[in-house]
Structure 1
Amino acid sequence: METPAIASLAPNPNARQVAMPLGMFVFTLLYGGMTVLAGVLAFKQVQLWPTQLAVESGIFPFLLLVVISSTLSQLYGREAAKRIVWWGFLPLGLSALLMQLVLTLPASSEMIAFRPEDFAAFERVHHSTWRVWMAGPASYITSLLLNIWIFDRLRGSGDGEGTLGLMVRGAVASALSQAVDSVIFITLAFYGEFDITDLMIGQVLAKVVLSLVLVPFLITGGVRAARWLDARKAA
Structure 2
Amino acid sequence: MNTRSFRFLDLIMAFFVTVLVVSNVASSAKIVDLGFSLFGIRLAFDGGTLLFPLSYVFGDILTEVYGFRASRRVIWTGFAALALSSLVFLLLRVLPADAEWEAYAGSAAYDAILGGMSTGGIALASLAGYWVGEFSNSVVLSRVKVLMKGRFLWVRTIGSTLVGELLDSVVFVFIASLTGVFGWELFASLVLTNYILKCTIEVIMTPATYLAVFKLKKAESIDTYDVGISFNPFKLQDRTVPPGGQSPDIP
TM-score for the superposition, normalised by structure 1: 0.78
What is the SS of the residue equivalent to 1:154? helix
After TM superposition, give the deviation of residue 132 of structure 1 in Å.
0.9
Deviations along 1:120-162, one digit per CA (max 9) or x if unpaired, are 42232222332110111111111111101111111135542x5
Number of residues paired by the alignment? 208
Question: Taking structure 1 as reference, are residues 55 and 172 closer, same or farther at Cα in structure 2, changes over 3 Å only?
Answer: same
1:119, 1:186 → 2: CA distance? 25
Conservation of the 8 A alpha-carbon contact between 1:45 and 1:57:
yes
Q: Please give the alpha-carbon distance, in whole angstroms, between the structure 1 residues aligned to 2:88 and 2:69.
A: 30
Identity of aligned residues (%): 24
Letter aligned with residue 72 of structure 2: K
Scaled by the length of structure 2, what TM-score is found?
A: 0.74
Contact 1:22 1:226 in 2 (8 A): no
Structure 2 residues without counterparts, runs of 5 or longer: 222-251
SS in 1 for 2:8: helix
Corresponding residue for 1:182?
169
Q: Is the 8 A contact 1:151 1:170 kept in 2?
A: yes
Map 1:5-84; keep pairs closer than 5 Å: 19-43=4-28, 44-51=30-37, 52-84=42-74
Counterparts in 2 of 1:1-235, with a 5 A limit?
19-43=4-28, 44-51=30-37, 52-113=42-103, 115=104, 117=105, 120-129=108-117, 130-157=120-147, 159-160=149-150, 165-191=152-178, 193-195=183-185, 196-211=187-202, 213-224=203-214, 226-227=216-217, 230=220
Aligned to 1:4: none
**The structure with more helix, counted as a fraction of residues:** 1
Superposed CA offset, 1:175-234 (max 9, x none) = 1210111111111102463402222222222233333x2242242233245457658xxx
Whether contact under 8 Å (1:42, 1:59) holds in the other structure is yes
Structure 1 Cα separation of the partners of residues 163 and 205 of structure 2:
12
Of the two, which has the highest radius of gyration?
A: 1
Q: CA separation in 1, counterparts of 2:75 and 2:125?
A: 16
The offset of 1:87, in angstroms, is 2.1
Alignment RMSD (CA, Å):
2.3
State the distance in 1 between where 2:153 and 2:207 align: 9
